[in-house]
Chains A and B, each alone.
Chain A
């Protein structure tokens, strides 16, 4: 059983923290991981992507093949569309709807949402708003991680919580709790959508 995840966003939006949280959880569950990141030039406000692969068997390629990603987890809606060729037919897009506009030719929000809704399996939430309601604007990436939780095979919520606790332990209990709250908020919202 493998899970191939494309993590997409803009440099500085915290996709590496998402990757680190999932990665730590996966290792605690004694799974294999490989995680290819974007460093360097494009980190300066450019498009960034991370290929995160989790499996119970050894993983060879650092990169996901086209058409084989189980999940595109995007913290920005335009970036969700950038990696569509990687998504498997059965794969899900889980995306934040708050745009990050730093280019002159950024499309309108309506155009982007129209394209997103044309995709077969879509979960779209306003993670920035959820994070703001929690009083922690910076945690929108963790809200998105929570939103994607139900699509992470072999990693349950407890494992994610533990991963986050490990990852943020140095920053103190408050930070750990704020991030765990953000995950719960994201997960609850999406679980509710699936019940309806």
Chain B
């Protein structure tokens, strides 16, 4: 059987067919489609595979580890920066090891199409000292999800699958394998394996270290890594993940240089050593940071290596066939230049979006106080930094609005304002709010609640209908929690409310609540379909 799948969907299908019992994730571009695919997959629904969204990547990672503790196969998915949130559990899961298979799928976003940075998750994989799989195409994405469970169960450690935006969001035909049944519930053989008290952790860590040479040997013989012979031995090429496609694209009749295709890490030392011995110098093609290039080159630069560090390839951004052509010294036949009148068309808030009303009111309320005191966060409302509002001054990481506002207020910037969305608030804002409550910081927090995780496509927010209860539970005084309807006719009252709370020298929370226009439209459609059935 075959299907046309996005790279992200191929991983989802591979995990389902590979006998997964559940996926845990928080939405984040370009990883969102993995979990969405599982949520809507008929077989996954029939089998009742877990696929509900988690509150954040940390809770997702921990839940997946819990499922793997219980002997079943679990996958956790996130975008690259999500792994920062989940890193505590991730690093320690490598030490506890797993019982059932566990896949950590991380989707990196080089060129920052929808992200704050372009960090390379392969560093995290190396940091945790676990095997990493990096598919070069959709078929491998499928095959690797299946194989990653085997690898994870063979070595008793989590296995990372690392993809990048391009593969996540590109479609091709994928051949499916037979479906494998799920594991049955089974406790770990060693009841202390997951208890990371120092003396146990030391033992577990030595086990992980002892595994390193086995992981490497597995990489040497992995079907995902290959040595391709070549006649021109002046240069040897190491092509990691998707870059292999760009190389093949440029040599459809076969590459004249010897090539090591790397899609499984640790680096296959035998293949790379052979390449180094047989060729004059090496060219490393990798999507992301020059991690392999740096590794091979070494601090003393004893090996002659070309790549992103010496300018053969761009230092940042995603690769493409043109970059690779240039690095190979091949001609590029660029078409006409883009005329100068072609203006950028950045993303914008939808017509009718409630954030418009919030920005208008906020700007007016802040007129007298002046600019520079609005700490914001990650979501559609980050576009409040752009034309026409220029309302916000920061966007750093999930939840940072509240805590940065607190820090600025501590420094004397009073009042300071935090502007955060409902889903980002439940993801990572609650603990920051507690900090502010503990010290009764003079900050006004606006939780612009559109009852949805909109930027990633309108997933259910964990906050739904509970935000004011959460704030009160954390300790915000009920007199300083306000729920308002952000519509044009309420503009004046919203301005007044914001001004009043800015004058209050403690923590206040204003919750402008109106459902995301996109989500509303989809919900109506779903209801109509349900009615017609």
- A61 partner, pick from B321, B336, B345, B387, beta carbons under 8 A: B321
Contact B333 A33 (CB under 8 A): no
Cβ distance B175 to chain A, nearest Cβ, rounded Å: 13
Q: Total interface residues on A, using CB and 8 Å?
A: 55
When distances are taken between beta carbons in the complex, the residues of chain A under 8 Å from B170 are 34-37, 51, 62
Residue B209 interfacial (CB < 8 Å): no
Contact A45 B347 (CB under 8 A): yes
With A42-B347, A47-B345, A65-B322 as given contacts, are A37 and B171 in contact (CB-CB < 8 Å)?
A: yes
Contact A106 B343 (CB under 8 A): yes
Q: Complex Cα distance A40/B167, Å?
A: 14
Cβ distance A117 to chain B, nearest Cβ, rounded Å: 12
Contact B342 A40 (CB under 8 A): no
Residue B70 interfacial (CB < 8 Å): no
Q: Complex Cα distance A60/B243, Å?
A: 10
Residue A23 interfacial (CB < 8 Å): yes
Q: Complex Cα distance A107/B246, Å?
A: 35
Contact B333 A103 (CB under 8 A): no
- From residue 44 to 82 of chain A, which have CB atoms closer than 8 A to chain B? 44-47, 51, 57, 59-69, 78-79, 81-82
Contact A65 B29 (CB under 8 A): no
Contact B4 A33 (CB under 8 A): yes
Q: Complex Cα distance A90/B495, Å?
A: 58
Contact B335 A46 (CB under 8 A): no
Contact B348 A102 (CB under 8 A): yes
With A67-B333, A67-B334 as given contacts, are A38 and B350 in contact (CB-CB < 8 Å)?
A: no
- B341 partner, pick from A45, A62, A67, A111, beta carbons under 8 A: A111
Q: Complex Cα distance A147/B156, Å?
A: 56
Residue B482 interfacial (CB < 8 Å): no
- A65 partner, pick from B332, B336, B337, B342, beta carbons under 8 A: B332
When distances are taken between beta carbons in the complex, the residues of chain A under 8 Å from B171 are 23, 33-37
Q: Complex Cα distance A35/B173, Å?
A: 10
Q: Complex Cα distance A106/B170, Å?
A: 30
With A81-B338, A104-B387 as given contacts, are A65 and B321 in contact (CB-CB < 8 Å)?
A: yes
B332's closest neighbor in chain A, by CB? A66
Contact B333 A68 (CB under 8 A): yes
When distances are taken between beta carbons in the complex, the residues of chain B under 8 Å from A41 are 29, 113-114, 347, 455
When distances are taken between beta carbons in the complex, the residues of chain A under 8 Å from B339 are 81, 84, 115
Q: Complex Cα distance A46/B345, Å?
A: 5
Contact A81 B113 (CB under 8 A): no
When distances are taken between beta carbons in the complex, the residues of chain A under 8 Å from B4 are 23, 27, 33
Residue A88 interfacial (CB < 8 Å): yes
With A65-B325, A66-B322 as given contacts, are A40 and B345 in contact (CB-CB < 8 Å)?
A: no
Q: Complex Cα distance A38/B337, Å?
A: 22
Residue A85 interfacial (CB < 8 Å): yes
Residue B346 interfacial (CB < 8 Å): yes
Residue B471 interfacial (CB < 8 Å): no
Residue B404 interfacial (CB < 8 Å): no
Contact B173 A27 (CB under 8 A): yes
Residue B242 interfacial (CB < 8 Å): yes
- A67 partner, pick from B332, B338, B345, B455, beta carbons under 8 A: B332
Contact B335 A67 (CB under 8 A): yes
Binary contact track A89-100/B, C-beta < 8 Å → 1, others 0: 101000000000
Residue A11 interfacial (CB < 8 Å): yes
Binary contact track A103-136/B, C-beta < 8 Å → 1, others 0: 1111100011001000100000000000000000
Contact A91 B335 (CB under 8 A): yes
With A41-B455, A61-B246 as given contacts, are A66 and B335 in contact (CB-CB < 8 Å)?
A: yes
Q: Complex Cα distance A62/B249, Å?
A: 9
A102's closest neighbor in chain B, by CB? B348
Residue B182 interfacial (CB < 8 Å): no
- From residue 1 to 59 of chain B, which have CB atoms closer than 8 A to chain A? 4, 6, 29-30, 32-33
When distances are taken between beta carbons in the complex, the residues of chain B under 8 Å from A32 are 172-173
B7's closest neighbor in chain A, by CB? A62
A45's closest neighbor in chain B, by CB? B348
Cβ distance A60 to chain B, nearest Cβ, rounded Å: 4
Contact B246 A43 (CB under 8 A): no
Contact A62 B167 (CB under 8 A): yes
Q: Complex Cα distance A178/B372, Å?
A: 52
Contact A40 B456 (CB under 8 A): yes
Residue A190 interfacial (CB < 8 Å): no
**Which of A's residues lie within 8 Å of B, judged by CB?**
10-11, 23, 27, 32-47, 51, 57, 59-69, 78-79, 81-89, 91, 102-107, 111-112, 115, 119
A-B contact pairs, 15 of them (CB 8 A): A40-B113, A41-B113, A44-B347, A44-B349, A62-B170, A65-B249, A66-B333, A67-B335, A84-B336, A85-B334, A85-B336, A102-B345, A103-B343, A103-B344, A103-B345
